[in-house]
Structure 1
Amino acid sequence: MATGILGAVNEEIALLRQQMRIESVVTVGGIRFTTGRLRGKSVVIGASGVGKVNAALAAQILIDRFHVQRMFFTGTAGAIQPALRIGDVILSTKTQQYDVNFSGIGYPSGVIPFLKTSIFTANAVLLETAERAAREIEHRKFRVLKGKILTGDRFVANARLGQVLRKTFAGVCVEAEGGAVGQVAYRNKVPYLVVRGISDKVGITSPADYARFGKIAARDAQWVVLTTLKLLKT
């Protein structure tokens, strides 16, 4: 069973590439995909680029070209749930694209017209395995929590917007790719999970904190993905 793993940028997948036994490197759609073995599993890893379109493109390539049968998206996110801390790792229970808005023709905000659902549920086996993986990481200094992840094509730095998104969509953090991957996974019936390290607290910490803590948050999220792969049976 092939597993696809995406991050938006190289630093969000660097640890994974370092740990894998590389078999080939292929560029498709301008995205460099590395294939090989990681924790005993066949994997395809790539940096999609930032934003929903890039993420959706990469996810569909993983399915069509590399025939992956499950997908992870890993990287960083901004917290909108006050109880979250910088350094926490969030496992997606669901994802939703908060910037979809067809309210002018009667659809609630966040609802994609003519699609059966606009909230994309993470695979239960991947989520449960990731929760077990978190308990197995030795000397772990970060918390691993789960919740709904919100996706939009912007960097959210405004506290008021963060509050609105949390109240409207019941999300715990915001990023720019996971919901798009969730939609592709849903349409193709491929199990998926988003794993995000919290790099900043929206409207509370400064954008400089994203740069300061982003690498650490990305690294910790990758450790969760690595350990999850190890625990998966196939």
Structure 2
Amino acid sequence: MPAPLSHRPETTALAARCMRLLGALALATLVAGCAAIAPGQAARLDSTPRIAVISAFAPELTVLLPQVQQPARHSVNGVEFTTGTLSGKPVVVFLSGISMTNAAMNTQLVLDRFNVSHIVFSGIAGGVNPGLHIGDVTVPAQWGQYMEWLMAREDQPGQYSAPAWMKSELTMPAFGMMHPRPVEVRSAAKPGITKQFWFEADPQMLATARGLQDVGLAHCLASTCLKQRPQLVVGGNGVSGQAFVDNKAFREYAFKTFEANVLDMETAATAMVAHSNGVPYIAFRSLSDLAGGGEGENEMGTFMGLAAANSAKVLLAFLSNWK
């Protein structure tokens, strides 16, 4: 008489394989479920509270990375993060990449993957305030996005009008058809959508920057020297946008409209991400050029290295004095 189906060897082997497959599927489902519930906690690469030190492109960071003590490197989405200490403070140092999108994306990335207590940006910028000079280091008290624009309708040649429903938020003068607007923002502290133009730097960090003395800013690069000794300027405004500005007329507009000392392509985006996450931030930006206000060709290619070094010097002095 043949053996019952459940007792046959081939049936037993098949059942065992099915059980193993079901077990693997259950484990995969469990792991995926845990990742979906808490991706931030699962993805943390380092638990030490650190100051995030950000620069936009390589020449700005090359003066800082060699000074990081006990460096450890982590790569996420192609971005290399270096943890260690700088001027005695625990830091995570990285390049955001140039542009507002890169700055916002990778500022959020460092907040998600590391235990960031504060954010510091260090780099170069175009000078807007005619009272400032190449090599000066600015530490604005607030940053805004000047390219959150309405492109207005041209009713007649050279005459532009905005939609009636939008006029209440157009409180600043236009540059031709381009009207600056506040940006929509949400945060952990205020989940509802609000609109604002300025994102303030942390008052305590600004107070530390104001207390810096004798930083020793460089005024010569090889055989090329600046006419004025660079100075440290703490306070005032900075603006950021998705454009490299080398235009005298727009420089004058930016100073008159925003009372800006400098403009760049990243800081206001990082400031907005810091605001949304409730993380204090400050930015050090040294003038590499005058954003089109110079007498001849744009000066960035000549003074980029000097400006980056001056910004880094102020950053290191700030970290040394930060409590």
How does the TM-score come out when normalised to structure 1? 0.93
Aligned residue in 2 for 1:204? 293
The 5 Å alignment of 1:25-64 reads 25-64=73-112
Displacement of 1:112 in angstroms is 1.0
Higher Cα radius of gyration: 2
Contact kept in structure 2, 1:200 and 1:207, CA below 8 Å? no
Q: For residues 22-80 of structure 1, what are the alpha-carbon distances to aligned partners after superposition, in whole Å with 9 as ceiling and x for unaligned?
A: 43111112211111011111100001110001011121112111121100111111111
Contact kept in structure 2, 1:96 and 1:110, CA below 8 Å? no
State the secondary structure of the residue aligned to 1:67: strand
Aligned residue in 2 for 1:86? 134
Aligned residue in 2 for 1:144? 232
How many correspondences in the alignment?
232
- After superposition, the Cα gap between the structure-2 partners of 1:80 and 1:138, relative to the gap in structure 1 and judged at 3 Å, is closer
Displacement of 1:117 in angstroms is 2.4
* Sequence identity percentage: 30
User: Matched residues in 2 for 1:130 and 1:77: separation?
Assistant: 18
Displacement of 1:195 in angstroms is 0.5
Of structures 1 and 2, the one with the larger relative CO (CA 8 A, separation 6+) is: 1
Aligned residue in 2 for 1:225? 315
Stretch of structure 1 that moved more, 159-168 or 2-11: 159-168
User: Matched residues in 2 for 1:51 and 1:207: separation?
Assistant: 23
Displacement of 1:15 in angstroms is 1.6
Aligned residue in 2 for 1:112? 183
User: Matched residues in 1 for 2:203 and 2:267: separation?
Assistant: 16
Aligned residue in 1 for 2:200? 121
User: Matched residues in 1 for 2:247 and 2:87: separation?
Assistant: 40
The 5 Å alignment of 1:148-163 reads 148-163=237-252
Contact kept in structure 1, 2:133 and 2:230, CA below 8 Å? no
Instruction: Specify which of 6, 9, 13 is matched with residue 61 of structure 2.
Output: 13
Contact kept in structure 2, 1:31 and 1:47, CA below 8 Å? yes
The aligned amino acid for 1:203 is G
How does the TM-score come out when normalised to structure 2? 0.68
Aligned residue in 1 for 2:306? 216
- After superposition, the Cα gap between the structure-2 partners of 1:139 and 1:116, relative to the gap in structure 1 and judged at 3 Å, is closer
> RMSD of the alignment, in Å?
1.6
